[in-house]
Amino acid sequence: MIKWQEVFSKNGLRWTDAAKLAAPLDLGDLVELKILLDAVHIRFCLVKPFQESRHYPLVESRELLPSFDNDMFEYKELPGFSLVAFARQLDYFSEIFQFDKLHPLFSEGDGANCPLENRVMEQNLQTMAARLPRVHQDVFRQQFRNTDTVVMENYAALMPYLLNMDRAHVLAWGPDNRFHLAGIFASFPSDIDSELKRFGIRIGKFVNGDSEIYERNRMFVYQYLMELYGFPIVSERRTSSALFARKLHKMGERFLLRVLGQTDRTITTYLSKGENVRYPAVEKIALVAVDPDQEEALHLIDSEGFFLDRARRVVILRVRYRQHGFNPSNVRQDRALSVLSQDVLHPLTGEALTGLNIIKDTSNMFLRLNDIVRGEYTGRIIYKRTELVENTETHQKRLKFLYTWLTKHQRRMISYSDEFFSNVSKVLTGYLFAPENDDAFEALHELHQEVCTRFSYIQQARRVRILEDLCQRTYKGQRLGYGPMLHEAVELLNELKFEIVNFFPALVDSVINGVEKVLRDRYLQRHYIEPAEDSLTRAGHEIRKNYGRLVALQDGFKAVRKARSNKESTTA
């Protein structure tokens, strides 16, 4: 495996000081290629802009935690690009996207004494120059005159020019099955309309020809589909990259696709090596400042020499994600993506420091929540995708921060431990229902109710999540027999029936679906429900009794759902 200093060094030069790649580079594997691209792109697209400006907009660690926030600003002065690499030779006419083709040389020589190879190099040079802004064309031609611009040894030197080109560039195998720069000015087809509708129908959120259901569920499906590929609903460059990666993966391609947005300042990579998996692997790389209260992580990063900027606590952070198939019966059905791993990358070698929890630390979440309710938090958030809110100096801003914070962490809070959630509840109730805040919240009644409703949903969803675990015969990590499982389910539903039916129809549906799974259990029916009464043991009688209670409780929830549905139909 090549290392970053091998990519950028000759005679011991640091990669940050080197001007061009060390030759030769014999790259035919996507993983090896990715190491090269990591070194080049982190250097030119993240580290270089950071070192040239004290005001470089570092990525907040929470921005790398799903679900992803909408972009707040566009930093037009920062680099942005996209590329795709294929572990195969290109068939120009048969490819499913448009690009300007570049040609590898026919031999391993430098082409200096071969008129045909000189002509190929000149053609490549002119093709690339024509896609550059006019101000760069003469300098580019002068710098790369008599140079084979498509070999990977020259890729780093080309990077400043590739960043000035519109659209994507393409890497692929040449006749020797080694990567070269195979094309520029590539357009990634997205076909968002067809893809969105097919996906929505497949997961049961759309019905063919039903515009009302489509309108009601469209944003959920759109957001879920994009999050599977690591983005919120954002710019055309990132949307088309995500959907093109989806298309290539479904076609069985072995590819790497990468995009850097000028708004998110994050390198997002999709990698598919031809395995039989549902989605391409997704990872993100960004420059992040480690929170000052993460003392153990800071000490480890410092002692191992992994800081990019020690004074500002800046590291190169790589986050890998796991995609989740849609599950309509799961109370966390909107969870498309979760964090798989986090690595801090060494700025000179690319070595990974593993085992850290920079973006997902519950203590950081709790401290940030405390700062919000006290009015001491000074960050920025996007409230409901439209309004930029800075700092928490007023109750109105604090409530908007809380709404966004609860929405952002809703899926995690549903799953976190009772101890953590108890602490969160104390902080929230202590602020939202404090008598001294009554007057302020009266003037902000609608906003206050939004936050309270979101908090109530999470509280009740945690109970439904316990029911979902019981359906799998587990409770607080312990495996249960049928008797304890049914007993716990009956106790839980008796508590829920007094509160949940008045609030959230989606949670009522989840309860009904969960109970239905329990009642349909074939082993349970065969051994405890179908046998004659006198053949059961005392424990068997108790199981049958709780089974009947569960049927009655489910009928009650179904009756409430039907009454609500009839009321909504009458109102409409």
CA distance 11 to 21: 12
- Contact 192/243 with Cβ under 8 angstroms? yes
In this structure, of 239-248, 349-358, 500-509, the range with the lowest mean pLDDT score is 500-509
Q: What is the crossing angle of helices 395-415 and 445-471, to 10°?
A: 0
Distance in angstroms (rounded) separating the CA atoms of residues 384 and 386: 6
CA distances from 381 to 225, 441, 568 (A): 23, 21, 35
Question: Among 482, 458, 472, which Cα is nearest to 536's?
Answer: 482
Q: Which residue has the higher pLDDT, 463 or 112?
A: 463
SS3 category, 186: strand
**Token output for 48:** 């270089």
pLDDT of residue 128: 93
Count Cα atoms within 13 angstroms, Cβ side, for 426.
7
Query: Quick one: pLDDT band at residue 18, thresholds 50, 70, 90?
Result: very low
Q: How far apart are CA 14 and CA 348, in angstroms?
A: 7
Token pair of 478 as six digits? 């312990």
Q: Which residues contact 289 (CB under 8 A, 6 or more apart)?
A: 58, 61, 312, 313, 314, 315
What is the tens place of the pLDDT at every residue in 434-491? 999 999 999 999 999 999 999 988 888 888 888 888 888 887 778 888 898 889 888 8
Residues whose CB is less than 8 angstroms from the CB of residue 528 and which lie 6 or more positions away in sequence, other chains included: 482, 536, 540, 543, 544, 547
10 Å CB burial of residue 299 (0-12, 13-18, 19+) is: exposed
Of 496, 367, 375, 473, nearest in space to 420 by CA: 367
Q: Give the up-direction half-sphere exposure of residue 478: CA atoms within 13 A in the CB hemisphere.
A: 8
- pLDDT tens, residue by residue, 52-99: 888 899 998 888 988 887 776 778 899 999 999 999 999 999 999 999
Beta carbons within 10 angstroms of residue 129's beta carbon: 18
Alpha-carbon span 7 to 4, nearest angstrom: 5
Q: Mean pLDDT over residues 350-376, rounded?
A: 83
Contact in structure between 316 and 344 (CB atoms under 8 Å): yes
Query: Encoding tokens for residue 119?
Result: 């002509």
- pLDDT per residue as tens digits for the range 397-443: 999 999 998 888 888 888 778 888 888 899 999 999 999 999 999 99
Residues 6+ apart with CB under 8 A from 203: 221, 224, 326, 328
SS3 415: helix
The closest of 286, 252, 295, 288 to 268, measured between CA atoms, is 286
The tens digit of pLDDT for each residue in 286-330 reads 999 998 888 888 999 999 999 999 999 999 999 999 998 887 766
Cα 279 to Cα 413: distance, rounded to the nearest angstrom: 26
Pairs from 219-224 (Cβ < 8 Å, separation ≥ 24): 220/334, 221/196, 222/196, 223/67, 223/334, 224/326, 224/334, 224/336
| pLDDT attached to residue 16 | 41
- Please provide the size of the chain in residues: 572
- Asked whether the predicted pLDDT for residue 25 surpasses 70, the reply is no
Residue 153 DSSP code: G
